[in-house]
Amino acid sequence: MAELIKNLIDGKWEEAPTGETFESINPANTSEVIASVVKSGKADIDRAVKAANEAYVKWRLLPPPRRAEILFRAAEILEKRKQELGELMTREMGKVLPEALGDVQEGIDMAYYMAGEGRRLQGETVPSELPDKDCKSVRVPIGVCSLITPWNFPIAIPAWKLMPSLVAGNTVVFKPSSYVPVCATRLVEILEEAGIPKGVLNLVHGRGEDSGEYLASHPATQGVSFTGSTAVGEALAQKCVGMGKKVSCEMGGKNAIIVMDDANLELAVEGAVWGGFGTSGQRCTAASRVIVHAAVYNKFMEMFSKAASGLKLGSGLLKQTDVGPLINSSQMEKVLSYIEIGRKEGAKLLTGGKAYREGDCVRGYFITPTIFADVEPSMRIAQEEIFGPVVSVLKARDLEDAIAIANGTKYGLVSSIYTLDVNRSAIAERELDTGIVYINASTIGAEIQMPFGGTKKSGFGFKEAGGRGGALDMFTRWKIIYRDYSGRLQKAQIDK
């Protein structure tokens, strides 16, 4: 009998009062049920938010270095359980094991990084224009935060949100994707083992349409951090900003790799394969477009097609597997429908383009790595986020044309250029309208010590992860403090 995954509310693991459940399924082998999961209703969320508000009173007063010690212990436990968590992730979400282990490592890195912030959380002290007076700014927590995470990074993205939120002194209601509830539960169990007090971290499971929107717009929460589709993110942002909440939405992408005529083509092909087919293309940073200079277009296409055709599909637990399954049947049908759209639009299908149901893949959601050539910038497959192993290749006359094509979508998350010309790379990093730019590297591979987020329809509000302008700006407010120890009334801008 499958394990029952429960909610954590006010320090107690409990079932939902409705008694309803749903199943977490292995997308590489749909006959394997990972767990049965409680389906939360509004009453569960109300109780979780209430618990978080009550716990906030004491948690915000615990010195940040003490809060950080809990995150440090959580990082140590994550390290010890890395292999176990990686294998669970591969079974529950489908990504190949090396990628799953990297996902866990990102959670570890974020826990250590934000634990360090417990002894920083810097503000600034500046001189006053008046004698016997000082001026400073300090970070303070915002209150109860609703954290809503997707399925494609089951440990990393929750860690991006949980760790900075907690170290800053907020309390949390965390709703993970209903497709990876077991991974989320293991992460919460680790934080609980590390010493998080009851009510500070609450976990509720359920479908996004049933519980996510209700949690995000709950009147007793002060902040919402969401990662998911652009359509859902925009709707949440509009509603929550109107309620006066702080909001961070990390949304879609239609990312491009530019390959110039002087590029190292072997390196560019490796980057395009990793960017396009890593995690089966199920990343907001996936390189779903490759824009190639006309002078090297044919040579690149030959090399790229050969490399993609050699990728092996299968269970991510097998060493020989390069590409795992898609997350579920609806995502698989969506990707197949876009492949058909590409055909009808007149793009040339070079490789892939079909469901793969051979050998051990017969019970999984597999699609062969797919490349379309001769794609026009206006085609839907070059404009819309597919979120699957489908790459559109476009031809560019020169650098200016390539940048115009890259910028010519509603998204602006990540871009990349392969060139050996330092002047070209300088122009590209200035002109590419994306939140992140890579030079001679693929669009996949953000590091946690830098902010993460995009422009246009790829992001709204505060950035994720670390560094100046990162997640701590989302999870704290600035308080400005003036202290006058002169013993007399001084009037700024008036006294001389």
Residues serving a catalytic function are 250, 284
For residue 259, give the amino acid letter: V
For residue 320, give the amino acid letter: Q
Tokens representing 338 are 């876009």
The dihedral through the CA atoms of 424, 426, 431, 435 has a sign that is positive
For residue 81, give the amino acid letter: R
How far the first Cα of the chain sits from its last, in Å, is 79
CA distances from 111 to 87, 106, 448, 465 (A): 20, 9, 10, 11
Burial tier of 125 (Cβ tally within 10 Å: 0-12, 13-18, 19+): exposed
Farthest-apart Cα atoms in the chain, separation = 85
Spell 272-305 as b/e; 16+ CB within 10 A means b. bbbbbbbbbbbbbbbbbbbbbbeebbeebbebbb
Among 4, 68, 59, which residue's Cα sits nearest to residue 201? 59
Among 102, 147, 125, 54, which residue's Cα sits nearest to residue 283? 102
CA distances from 156 to 126, 186, 299, 390 (A): 37, 13, 37, 24
**Residues with Cβ within 8 Å of residue 467, at least 6 apart in sequence:** 449, 450, 451
Going by their DSSP bridges, the two strands 289-293 and 390-396 should be labelled as: parallel
The dihedral through the CA atoms of 46, 146, 173, 474 has a sign that is negative
Give bridge partners of residue 455 from the DSSP assignment: 412
Among 29, 10, 13, which residue's Cα sits nearest to residue 363? 29
What is the distance between the alpha carbons of residues 440 and 257, in angstroms, rounded to a whole number?
9
